[in-house]
């Protein structure tokens, strides 16, 4: 996949929360965003296996938006 994969950043936010360096709001957001990301990536992989063009522009945009928001939480 060529789009940004935000899983690493989301896991970093969760870890920072567990080490008391992020607010619960960040943890809640990252946890939900991680589930969404995993679902999108799973769908992309299923589409590729079935011979469909993937990711779609909407999938790319969704992952990019999650990545950008995660970077904002991490101040990257």
Mean pLDDT, consecutive 10-residue segments, the chain of 76 residues?
78 98 98 98 96 96 96 96
Report the phi/psi class of residue 44: left, alpha or beta, with left for phi > 0 and alpha for psi in -120 to 50.
alpha
Residue spans of the domains in the chain: they are 7-74
The reported pLDDT for the residue numbered 4 is 77
The reported pLDDT for the residue numbered 2 is 40
Residues 9, 37, 59, 48, CA torsion sign? positive
The reported pLDDT for the residue numbered 57 is 96
> How distant, in Å, are the alpha carbons of 8, 18, 24, 60 from that of 5?
7, 22, 23, 9
Among residues 14, 31, 68, the alpha carbon closest in space to that of 76 is found at 68
């Amino acid at each position: 996949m060529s789009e940004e994969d935000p899983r690493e950043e989301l896991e970093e936010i969760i870890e920072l929360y567990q080490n008391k360096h992020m607010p619960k709001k960040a943890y809640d957001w990252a946890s939900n965003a991680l589930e969404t990301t995993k679902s999108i990536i799973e769908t992309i992989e299923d589409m590729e296996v079935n011979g469909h063009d993937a990711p779609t522009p909407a999938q790319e945009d969704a992952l990019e938006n999650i990545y950008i928001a995660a970077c904002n939480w991490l101040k990257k």
